[in-house]
Amino acid sequence: MKNLLALPLATIVAGLATVGTAHAQSASEGIAKYREMLQDGNPAELFEMKGEELWKQKRGPKQATLDQCDLGLGPGVIQGAFVQLPRYFKDTGRVQDLESRLVTCMETLQGFNGAEIAKTPFGRGEMANVTALATFVATASKGMRFNLPQQHPQEKAMYEVGKRAFFTRGGTHDFSCASCHGADDKRIRLQELPNLTKNPGDGIGFAAWPAYRVSNSQMWGMQQRLNDCFRQQRFPEPKFGSDVTIALGVYMGVNAKNAESIVPAIKR
C-alpha cells in the first residue's frame, strides 16, 4: 500500500485552491478527482484481507469456519451473493441483508451469541469483524450488477415497507430519507446526493457500500451508513439488523437494479 494517508489534506486543499472563486461545481469535480487518486490504494483492502482471514479461520465456541455459510447462493458461495442481497432465507424465515446474514452464520456455525453482536457498537469486537467479513464478501462481487430477487412475498413486502420508511418524516427537523435522496442533482453543502428512489448509476448510493471513509479512517457497511443517516435525520437510533434497515436495503437495492457494485468504495 502506498503512502496515501499522508496525501489527502494536501491534495484536497490543492484541488479546491485551483477552483478559486469559481462556482461549487468545479469544487466537486476536484473532490471527485481526489477520490479517483485514492482509489489506487484504497485502505478498504486491509479490511477485505482481514475479512478473508476471519472467514477461513476456525472461530467461536464451536471452533468452525464460515465455509458453510449460505449467503443465498448455497453454502460457501461468495461470488455474486452480495448483489442479490437483501433476500429471503428459508432457515430464518426472514429477509436478511449481508451483515445480518453474517451474524446468523456466526451464530449457527460458530456458536457466537448473535444478539450480543447486534448490540455491540460499530467498530468494536465482533461487530468490527462483521464489517470486515462484509467487506470481503461484497468485494467478491465487485463489477457485478445488482439484481435482488423479488419473487418471495416477504421480499415484496419488505420493498413496500422500505418505500414507506424512506418517505416517513420525523424527528425535530421533519426529515425523511427522501429529504436528501428524493431528487436528482441535489447537494448538501458541496456533497452530491444520490437519488435513491431510482437507479442512481453505477457505483453510486447502494452500490457504493461497504466503503472506507477517509474523514474518519473507518470502514463502514450499509448498516452503519444507515445508522449515521438516521442520526443526522435526528431520528432515534435504528437497531442493527432491524426491519426498517433491511427494508430500506431492499428498497434501495431493488431500485438500483443493474447498477454496478464498485465495492469496496472510498468516501470522503
Partner 1 sequence: MRQTFAFILPVVAAVALAACSASPSAVDYDKAAADALKNSFQARGIATLDRLEQDQANAACAAADISGQPVEEKLAKAIEAANMKTVKWPADGKFLGDWKQGEVIAQSGRGLTWTDDAKTVNGGNCYNCHQISKEEISFGTLGPSLYNYGKLRGVSNPNSPEAKAIVEYTWGKLWNARAYNACSQMPRVGHKGILNETQLKHVMALLLDPASPVNK
Interface residues with partner 1 (CB under 8 A) are 21, 23-24, 27, 92-96, 100, 103-104, 107-108, 113-115, 117-118, 153-154, 156-158, 160-161, 163-165, 167-176, 178-180, 182, 185-191, 193, 230-232, 234-239, 241-245, 247
Q: Which is nearer to partner 1, 47 or 235 (CB)?
A: 235
3-state SS assignment for residue 221: coil
Q: Which residue's CB is nearer to partner 1, number 4 or number 178?
A: 178
Q: How far is the CB of 174 from partner 1 (least distance, A)?
A: 6
Grid cell listed for 243: 426491519
For residue 64, list its beta bridge partners.
59
Residue 23, C-alpha cell as written in the block: 462556482
User: Whole-angstrom Cα distance, residue 261 to residue 245?
Assistant: 19
Burial environment of residue 85 by CB neighbours within 10 A (0 to 12, 13 to 18, 19 or more)? buried
Residue 105 C-beta: closest distance to partner 1, Å? 10
d(CA 260, CA 257): 9
Distance CA(19)–CA(28), nearest Å, equals: 10
Query: What's the closest the beta carbon of residue 103 comes to partner 1, in angstroms?
Result: 5
What 3-state DSSP class applies to 219?
strand
229 is known as an active-site residue: yes
Nearer to partner 1, 42 or 230 (CB): 230
State in angstroms the smallest separation of the CB of 106 from partner 1. Answer: 9
Choice between 186 and 257, CB closer to partner 1 = 186
The burial class, CB within 10 Å (0-12 / 13-18 / 19+), for 156 is: middle
How do 87-89 and 211-213 pair as beta strands?
unpaired
Catalytic residue among 105, 177, 180, 229: 229
Active site residues: 229
